[in-house]
Structure 1
């Protein structure tokens, strides 16, 4: 009996020792994970402080807001006050919504915190299009667009125009003859002409074809204008109302402004204004694969496709090999097409940059429209933050 008791005591001790050991290892792993997280954030903080110092020094030109969010934690939120009233005095300040030097309209909307997003509006239009297709299964991206744009006096003698698909518009491959690569104030620039016209849809549809749809990437804000109109055809609602119901309200975005065009449509190519905090919510929505507070707002498949490099190296003149998805840029991707970074980019320095691997969101608002700064905020994630994370 004594032998048996000794054996039981030894067994009990062994069990307790093993349990304690497992507990220590478990605690050690959790501690290591927290240490890694802390190290990561400390590493980013050092870089953020450096960038903030350079912004204050003027190296990045006119910057209004700089935010960094990682793992749902706000690591940085800097606001910069610029004296735009004085800055724009040497420029034409005629009061209309497409004069970018008029301070009633740019960069903030009528002295509020709503900041112009410019072409970031295109990426949000894409989200709203994805939601429209999610709830209307009778339509898909392979559908031809012309039957969805009726009531316009347009010359369709060129059969190529009738073959433009929704996906061609989403990926900037409509085949329309379009010039948007020159300065925005160049009167031959199609974006300038579009914004000066009385009927935007008619202007876009009247453009001749340059090539077969689906072949050539040509940056074309007019195509995004057509997407906005098609959303109205599919849903029966103008896109601002659709956005309010299906995207903004679920995300708790209560304050926004969207420019209205002379023909009663909405400027989907560049007319949206949001607070930086609310733009960050869009980034969080995408990091969570289209979910917000457990609810699927836009399908996971749409998020993945939109932010994939469907087109490779669309801007060979840029420093990095950049891809393009459904109105989203992909500044960095692997050889097998896996996205490392995707972004929504807007004129003047509007950026929503996301890197899923590090669960990281960066928001920049700026207004560099009359000069080229020494450094570009577009390169901050690739050139400054990610290298620091990779070598921590």
Structure 2
């Protein structure tokens, strides 16, 4: 009986090791290894339809992203460009199965703005702070860590890290000239109604708001005591063999002093310019890290617990975790697709999609945002 038990245990170890070994992780110096869709019993002609669909449904906004931004957010009072922008390229993307490249299109080495995909990188900086013990618990009040007045007051003092990560803090104030109430104001009612509204109890109502996201970036910069791009580079991007071409910008005037050193406080998106500028291949590497539960080859770079927490639905919005969108049942559910899918999404149709059940990472850029569900449906049909 003992021999049977040992054989069973060794069998599980063998399966686990081989499951890990089945993922391919590209090195920096090598060309990304390609496999035929047929190697995975994926219908090549159906997958080609998906790629053709992505190419044919390019984001309709201007390629001059300064113009696209100003047009996209023209309803906001006081909105202006505060950080760098860059003219974009055309549609591009990669589809990875177990890390192997099975389809790509466009210029995957071109660096472009990625807008709110940056938020998923930002929340990962919070994960590193938690993993390192710099934040003891995401339910701690942020004001216990940041005592400069940013989280003072009856309302703001109630805000936890979880509230900021799930975008349900209703933080009230101004940062780098951006007023929380002026970010995506409601179409109904006057601005004064919104400016002097009753604040929602933290944790009860989700509101997508870049000013509050930038407050999170500011708070994390002070906790980590380093510029977030430096932390991202040394702790993650260098270790996943990313290129040296990506950049993470803040607004031109967004400087803060820590330990006597002036540091740029970066943004969590490109709402007013700035955010992460990155190529498709580096986005795919980041996606692979999450597909493999925070592990790159044999190195656990992000704890599996953090990823589990990051992709758990929030109370106010079942389709949102820690700055990752979730394909759970709700208003943002992609029909006929796995409810385990989660993804980073940014203005202009930038997406990193993680499909753990099918060992897939899909990166698509400059796809008309309303077409993402149909695009992913076509990919799904290729392996069903």
* Fold match by TM threshold 0.5: yes
Is 1:263 equivalent to 2:262 in the alignment? no
Partner of 1:385: 379
> Following TM superposition, by how much is the alpha carbon of 1:294 offset from its aligned partner in structure 2, in angstroms?
0.6
Q: Is the 8 A contact 2:156 2:172 kept in 1?
A: no
> Following TM superposition, by how much is the alpha carbon of 1:387 offset from its aligned partner in structure 2, in angstroms?
3.9
SS at match of 1:251: coil
Distance (whole Å) between structure 2 residues aligned to residue 333 and residue 209 of structure 1: 30
Partner of 1:376: 371
Q: What pairs up with 1:213-228 in 2 under 5 angstroms? A: 213-228=202-217
Q: Is the 8 A contact 1:161 1:209 kept in 2?
A: no
Is 1:281 equivalent to 2:285 in the alignment? yes
Partner of 1:296: 300
SS at match of 1:113: coil
Q: CA offsets per residue over residues 26-48 of structure 1, 9 Å max, x none?
A: xxxxxxxxxxx8475432x2222
SS at match of 1:50: helix
Partner of 1:164: 159
**CA separation of 1:215 and 1:155: change in aligned 2, threshold 3 A:** closer
**CA separation of 1:240 and 1:378: change in aligned 2, threshold 3 A:** farther
> Following TM superposition, by how much is the alpha carbon of 1:116 offset from its aligned partner in structure 2, in angstroms?
0.9
**CA separation of 1:155 and 1:61: change in aligned 2, threshold 3 A:** closer
SS at match of 2:342: strand
Unpaired runs of 5+ residues, structure 2, are 1-36, 62-89, 174-180, 186-194, 256-264
Segment drifting more, 341-350 vs 263-272: 263-272
**CA separation of 1:60 and 1:231: change in aligned 2, threshold 3 A:** closer
Partner of 1:348: 348
**CA separation of 1:209 and 1:58: change in aligned 2, threshold 3 A:** same
Q: CA offsets per residue over residues 296-334 of structure 1, 9 Å max, x none?
A: 10100011111222347x3xxxxxxx6111110002469
Aligned length: 285
Higher helix share: 1
Unpaired runs of 5+ residues, structure 1, are 1-36, 82-111, 179-187, 193-205, 315-321
> Following TM superposition, by how much is the alpha carbon of 1:143 offset from its aligned partner in structure 2, in angstroms?
1.3
Distance (whole Å) between structure 2 residues aligned to residue 223 and residue 54 of structure 1: 35
> Following TM superposition, by how much is the alpha carbon of 1:70 offset from its aligned partner in structure 2, in angstroms?
0.6
TM-score, length-scaled by structure 2? 0.66
Distance (whole Å) between structure 2 residues aligned to residue 221 and residue 130 of structure 1: 19
**CA separation of 1:160 and 1:56: change in aligned 2, threshold 3 A:** closer
Partner of 2:183: 190
Distance (whole Å) between structure 2 residues aligned to residue 388 and residue 136 of structure 1: 43
Q: Is the 8 A contact 1:69 1:360 kept in 2?
A: yes
**CA separation of 1:117 and 1:57: change in aligned 2, threshold 3 A:** closer
Partner of 1:119: 116
**CA separation of 1:246 and 1:339: change in aligned 2, threshold 3 A:** farther
Partner of 2:92: 65
> Following TM superposition, by how much is the alpha carbon of 1:120 offset from its aligned partner in structure 2, in angstroms?
0.5
Partner of 1:14: none
**CA separation of 1:59 and 1:230: change in aligned 2, threshold 3 A:** closer
Q: Is the 8 A contact 2:127 2:302 kept in 1?
A: yes
Residue 322 of structure 2 is aligned with which of 326, 329, 337? 326
SS at match of 1:76: strand
> Following TM superposition, by how much is the alpha carbon of 1:251 offset from its aligned partner in structure 2, in angstroms?
1.2
> Following TM superposition, by how much is the alpha carbon of 1:137 offset from its aligned partner in structure 2, in angstroms?
5.1
Is 1:150 equivalent to 2:147 in the alignment? yes
TM-score, length-scaled by structure 1? 0.65
Distance (whole Å) between structure 2 residues aligned to residue 207 and residue 363 of structure 1: 41
Residue 230 of structure 2 is aligned with which of 224, 228, 241? 241
SS at match of 1:42: coil
Q: Which has the larger radius of gyration?
A: 1
Distance (whole Å) between structure 2 residues aligned to residue 207 and residue 269 of structure 1: 26
Q: Is the 8 A contact 2:204 2:315 kept in 1?
A: no
